[in-house]
Amino acid sequence: MYDLIGDIHGHADELVQLLERLDYRKIRGIYRHPDRKAIFLGDYIDRGPKILQTLKIVRGMFEENAALAIMGNHELNALAFHTEDPSRHGTFLRKRNTANIRQHAQTILQLNDKDMESTLNWFRVLPLWLDLEGLRAVHACWDESAMAMISNAIDEHRVITPGFLQPAYQNGNALFASVEVVLKGKDAKLPHNVFVTDKDGHSRNKVRTRWYLSPHGQTYRTYAFQSNALNCDLEIDDAVASKAVPYPLAAKPVFVGHYGLSAVSPDILTDNVACLDFNVTKGGFLCAYRWNGEQKLNNDGFVWTV
């Protein structure tokens, strides 16, 4: 059985607290459970105060078969940030502008060159999703069309290479769009003059959507997947609805992170979809779901820090 754990972002103290609440114990330097295995849903780096310690815990568990781990958008961004663009000498695949440097700054400050190189080498072997017996795990969105595109583009050894990263960071490329969906979720463009503030304080004219639900009969307010309320009760545009692929009710449970939800306590999204990111970086909590094989999820499965 598995314990799925949401976005950590360098909050190692909260991670230790959560693992101990889940009855994992440190044995020869690695947190282990006698009967269970953790699944980490990505975003281990950036923002938090103890990034290196977080990486040692998560990677140690991964390498000692005490846990599985997948890629988050921050891990893929780090690879692109540190990979030169072969088509433009002296530049990098992820632009080193003010916003991107600010987002990655704590990781750069807290990891020395040797640790950074080792960490990036580990990120390259992380899968972008897991499809296991009884459950699925992905950082932001389970979309089989996008996953097929990624699978066709990735190295035969399932390693993230510069040859994969270059088109994945070219806006307008089909691979770019697929990676955005899987690691960041689906967007809907908002009606004219409607804007929303995202979790990083940026004003946007598009919003993350509840990709797992049908948009038919919904408004932009009810279909938005974010913590800040969206004051727009217009019905979803046909252009948005036509691209939607709701997650089937009969499909295996899928667990995601990424969305930085705000709540006093977690709730499942549907009977077979749960988000485990509750914004630990901004005063929220680190959250896990203790999965025991059930195909219908319930709120009793959540465990979180206080």
- What confidence score (pLDDT) does residue 200 get? 65
Confidence (pLDDT) at 286: 98
Residues 9 and 84 in one domain: yes
Together in a domain, 39 and 116? yes
Q: Residue 238: pLDDT band by 50, 70, 90 thresholds?
A: confident
Q: Rounded CA gap, 285 and 265, in Å?
A: 9
> Please, what is the Cα angle at 80 between 77 and 115, to 5 degrees?
80
Same domain, 58 and 159: yes
For residues 268 and 135, membership in a common domain is answered with yes
| Residues sharing a CB contact under 8 Å with residue 167, sequence separation 6 or more, in sequence order | 153, 173, 175, 176
Reduced to 3 states (helix: H, G, I; strand: E, B; else coil), residue 290 is strand
What is the spatial distance between Cα 73 and Cα 65, in angstroms, rounded to a whole number? 23
Alpha helices (H) along 169-301: 174-184, 220-223, 238-241
Q: Which domain holds residue 210?
A: 187-243
For 106-159, the pLDDT digits (tens) are: 999 999 999 999 999 999 999 999 999 999 999 999 999 999 999 999 977 789
> Is there a single domain that holds both residue 7 and residue 52?
yes
pTM assigned to the model: 0.95
- The number of helices, as runs of H, and strands, as runs of E, in the chain is 10, 16
Q: What are phi and psi of 113, to 5 degrees?
A: -60, -40
Same domain, 56 and 135: yes
- Check residue 198 and give its pLDDT: 66
* pLDDT single digits (tens) 176-234: 999 999 999 999 888 877 777 766 667 778 889 999 999 998 999 999 998 777 888 88
Q: Which phi and psi angles does 176 have, rounded to 5°?
A: -55, -50
Interatomic CA distance for residues 20 and 33, integer angstroms? 10
To 10 degrees, what angle do helices 174-184 and 144-153 make?
120
Residues in contact with 64: Cβ distance below 8 Å, sequence separation at least 6, in sequence order:
30, 32
Average pLDDT, the chain: 94
- On whether both 108 and 254 belong to a single domain, the answer is yes
Q: Could you tell me if 114 and 161 lie in one domain?
A: yes
Q: What is the dihedral of CA 28, 33, 37, 39, to 10 degrees?
A: -70
Best-predicted range by mean pLDDT (2-11, 203-212, 218-227, 256-265): 2-11
So what's the pLDDT on residue 192?
Answer: 75
Averaged pLDDT for residues 79-94: 93
Residues 162, 295 share a domain = yes
38-62 pLDDT tens trace: 999 999 999 999 999 999 999 999 9
Assess whether 24 and 91 both reside in one domain. Answer: yes
Residues 54, 84 share a domain: yes
pLDDT at residue 103 tops 80:
yes
Same domain, 120 and 201: no
Q: What's the Cα-to-Cα distance from 18 to each of 83, 136, 147, 254, 280, rounded to whole Å?
A: 34, 21, 31, 21, 12
Question: Structurally, how many domains does the chain consist of?
Answer: 2
Segment 18-40 mean pLDDT: 97
Percent of the chain with pLDDT over 90: 81
